Amino acid sequence: MDSKLFTPFQLGPLTLRNRTIRSAAFESMGKDFGPTQKLKDYHVSVARGGVGMTTLAYASINRSGVSFNSQLWLRDEIIPALKDITDAIHREGAAAAIQIGHCGNMTHWSTAGSFPVSASNGFNLYSPTFHRRMSHAEIAETAKDFGRAVKTAHEAGFDSVEVHAGHGYLISQFLSPWTNRRRDSYGGSLTNRMRFMQECLTEVLEEAAKLKMAVVVKHNMEDGFKGGIEVPESIEIAREIERLGVHGLVLSSGFVSRAPMAVMRGRIPTKTMGYYMGWNEWLQKIVVSLFGQWMIKQYDFEECFFLENAKKFREALKMPLIYVGGLVSREGIERVLGEGFELVQMARALINDPAFVNKMREGDLTTRSGCDHRDYCIARMYSRDMQCCHNCTEAIPDRLWRELKKIK
């Protein structure tokens, strides 16, 4: 088959062995904000499964940005344990990336150890928590923390960092007019709303250039609701990211505190989600179990669900673009690569089957992953380790299966 899928790609200073990346998808496998053997085993299995690069999800650049105890907080103390993981990934022939970000108003006092911060004051029903507006001194310090995180990631053996600038996390909270109601130089016009992102990326790129690391940004093509960022404005932001010299842009969408399933598409099994929540979150557990399906907007899933929007960015930009969203088959991947995207990311296909890339290499155009988008992995990830319902190491109760089987 004449395809670029299994050809190498030069992502800034980094050569990838093929065009596939395991996207940042929160594993929820950390402990005390550090890595575990389980996290290592999962990423090593993905690397062994043939992927070009695997991305550890969602590491916070400082303590105030953490929203789960099972999340990574990138700091010196965990460098040896991370190095053990990156060494093992490299031994399998894959590159290693880490997604870095700050959860902003998605944090909670209990995890972040301080009052949650954001672009503006407010209340985030999703967390749920009040949050306060960041001062200029805090903004400058946070941008510096992004730079420091790159240095830490390098010491831990990562080849690349992916800056999380989408999905309603801190950078996205500054970009989006829905969460940014500031009237100073960081709010109002798009130029002002982009300023925090520019400052963070400047720190990241400066540090990465010294260390010869690749820098990728995960960006929202749209927030997914009226009053959020829409495609034309998002293209302007992407142009700025290109101008700054970022090596690759991941095109995503959705806003976790408003439209979480706009990120992943499909129907989240809310009873399952409530079932796994602990009784320490009893109110959320009851509310999610009883009313979740009405509270969380559901979407139909279709393969390559972001492709039509992503093509608008392909037309507007010259930089390498990384497609993510609904890739579960070789055919879908070939379609995306055929549209001029340099790389593809997958989350759920590789949660279901870490060896999917090798299976595509050995198979033909009809090769598919076994993921059928029942989205158990998402429902579970909020309270337990991320696992697919089709190969879960724990028995899944019958009443959860009844809900999962209804999801088409």
Largest CA distance in the chain: 56
Catalytic residue ranges: 169
Residue with tokens 């890739």: 327
Q: How far apart are CB 165 and ligand FMN at their closest, in Å?
A: 10
Q: By CB under 6 A, is residue 326 in contact with ligand FMN?
A: yes
Closer residue to ligand FMN, CB minimum distance, 303 or 403? 303
Site for ligand FMN in 247-266 (CB under 6 A): 252, 263-264
Figure out which of the listed residues 11, 16, 25, 241 binds ligand FMN, where binding follows CB under 6 A. 25
Interaction mask 69-108, ligand FMN, x per CB under 6 A: ------------------------------x---------
Q: How far apart are CB 377 and ligand FMN at their closest, in Å?
A: 4
DSSP string, 172-236: HHHH-TTT----STTSSSHHHHTHHHHHHHHHHHHHHHHHT-EEEEEEES--SSTTS--HHHHHH
Burial of 395 by CB count in 10 Å (0-12 exposed, 13-18 middle, 19+ buried)? exposed
269 prior amide bond cis, ω within 30:
no
Site for ligand FMN in 144-183 (CB under 6 A): 164, 167
Taking the C-alpha atoms of residue 150 and residue 60, their distance in angstroms, rounded to an integer, is: 11
**Among 235, 232, 210, 55, residue whose Cα is nearest residue 148:** 210
Q: How far apart are CB 55 and ligand FMN at their closest, in Å?
A: 8
Cβ contacts of 40 within 8 Å, gap of 6 or more = 84, 85, 88
Site for ligand FMN in 270-309 (CB under 6 A): none
Q: By CB under 6 A, is residue 19 in contact with ligand FMN?
A: no
Give the 3-state secondary structure of residue 115.
coil
Figure out which of the listed residues 57, 259, 336, 357 binds ligand FMN, where binding follows CB under 6 A. 57
How many residues in the chain?
408
Report how far apart, in Å, the C-alpha atoms of 139 and of each of 181, 199, 353, 356 are.
15, 9, 40, 41
Figure out which of the listed residues 95, 221, 321, 346 binds ligand FMN, where binding follows CB under 6 A. 346
Q: Which two tokens stand for residue 206?
A: 């400066």
Closer residue to ligand FMN, CB minimum distance, 193 or 218? 218
Site for ligand FMN in 376-405 (CB under 6 A): 377-378, 381, 386
Contact indicator for 235, 316 with CB cutoff of 8 Å: yes
Figure out which of the listed residues 89, 106, 324, 389 binds ligand FMN, where binding follows CB under 6 A. 324
Q: What per-residue string of b and e applies to 65-98 under the rule 16 or more CB within 10 Å gives b?
A: bbbbebbbbbbeebbebbeebbebbeebebbbbb
Closer residue to ligand FMN, CB minimum distance, 36 or 192? 36
Q: How far apart are CB 184 and ligand FMN at their closest, in Å?
A: 28
Q: How far apart are CB 98 and ligand FMN at their closest, in Å?
A: 11
Figure out which of the listed residues 249, 288, 327, 388 binds ligand FMN, where binding follows CB under 6 A. 327
How many residues touch ligand FMN (CB under 6 A)?
Answer: 25
Residues that bind ligand FMN (CB under 6 A): 23-26, 57-58, 99, 164, 167, 218, 252, 263-264, 324-327, 346-349, 377-378, 381, 386
